Amino acid sequence: MNSSVQGAQSFARSIAVLQMIAESAQPLSRAELASRSDLTRPTLYRIIASLEAEGLIRQSSQGGYSLGVRLVELARTALAQNDIRGVAGPELERLRDMTGETVHLAVPSNDAMVYIDKIESRETVRMMSTIGSRIPYHSTSVGRAYLSALPEADADALIDRIETPAITEFTVTDLNRLKDIVRQARLAGVAREEQENERGIICFGAAIRDRTQAPIAAISVSVPMFRLDETRGYEAAISRAADEISKGLSFIDA
């Protein structure tokens, strides 16, 4: 194996360990990381030491590992340089003001979506979501909106690949039913989910497209059920916002 291939493999292993730590709700010990990976202990320990030396992870006093401060700094820089956030920001604020509710911007990342921006509702009851959170395709309006903007064959292939756990008792987990929901969203131009990712919350989502009409992100409006007012035209408002963001990005990409 040549040095470039070895280097790529080592990098991939480091990213895999970093991802495990990022996706865990609690700090992970060395033993827990070892049980979740197929790495030998010497290899795993070298990776942990390297990540810790670079400030990408940190060890708590109890011995568990969590993400380090340097990752936060890198994330802030990446977000600041992200054209989608810059273009979407004003439209997200307008959408929040029109609906009175929390809005999100999310992008695809492998087999999930990631929130990269959030404009809070001014109401006292708000979403518990945070920027940087990984969220499922199957149980969220942003995920379904993104899937609905893909060619049907590509969307079906992605649905067949992902896991579809029940996040709440309302979550659709059946793949065929999910494909039907995505097809309906494709026809409507807006996706919807009701209490499937968070109890008591209904979300509306729409895809953002680049100048080739390929989906690159999605936005959502999240409404507590007790404040839901269908006369506010959530679907029309989010569809218009997504179109405006897509138009703005087409000028940058041109």
pLDDT tens for the chain, 254 residues long, are 555 555 678 888 999 999 999 888 889 999 999 999 889 999 999 999 999 999 999 998 889 999 998 887 777 666 655 678 888 999 999 999 999 999 999 999 888 999 999 999 887 666 677 888 889 999 999 999 999 999 999 999 999 999 999 999 999 999 999 999 999 999 999 999 999 999 999 999 999 998 888 999 999 999 999 999 888 899 999 999 999 999 988 754 44
pLDDT of residue 254: 44
pLDDT of residue 72: 75
CATH number at residue 37: 1.10.10.10
d(CA 147, CA 184): 11
DSSP 3-state assignment of 115? strand
Q: Strand locations in 195-248, DSSP E?
A: 201-209, 215-224
pLDDT of residue 82: 62
Q: Whole domain around residue 232: which residue ranges?
A: 82-253
Verify that 105 and 208 share a domain, yes or no: yes
Verify that 69 and 86 share a domain, yes or no: no
Task: With CA atoms as reference, report the closest residue to 222 among 242, 244, 199.
Answer: 199
Read off the DSSP letter of residue 122.
S
Token duo for residue 126: 């708000």
Verify that 178 and 224 share a domain, yes or no: yes
Phi/psi at 19 (5° precision): -65, -40
* Under 8 Å between Cβ of 126 and 149: no
DSSP 3-state assignment of 209? strand
pLDDT of residue 224: 93
d(CA 98, CA 101): 8
Question: Side chain identity at 42, as an amino acid letter?
Answer: P
DSSP 3-state assignment of 116? strand
d(CA 53, CA 14): 13
Verify that 45 and 164 share a domain, yes or no: no
Verify that 106 and 213 share a domain, yes or no: yes
The domain boundary, picked from 41, 73, 105, lies at 73
- Structural domain tally of the chain? 2
* Under 8 Å between Cβ of 211 and 253: yes
Verify that 214 and 157 share a domain, yes or no: yes
Verify that 128 and 39 share a domain, yes or no: no
Verify that 186 and 205 share a domain, yes or no: yes
- 166-183 in b/e form (b: 16+ CB < 10 A) is ebeeebbeeeeebbebbe
Residues near 194 by beta carbon (within 8 Å), at least 6 away in sequence: 170, 202
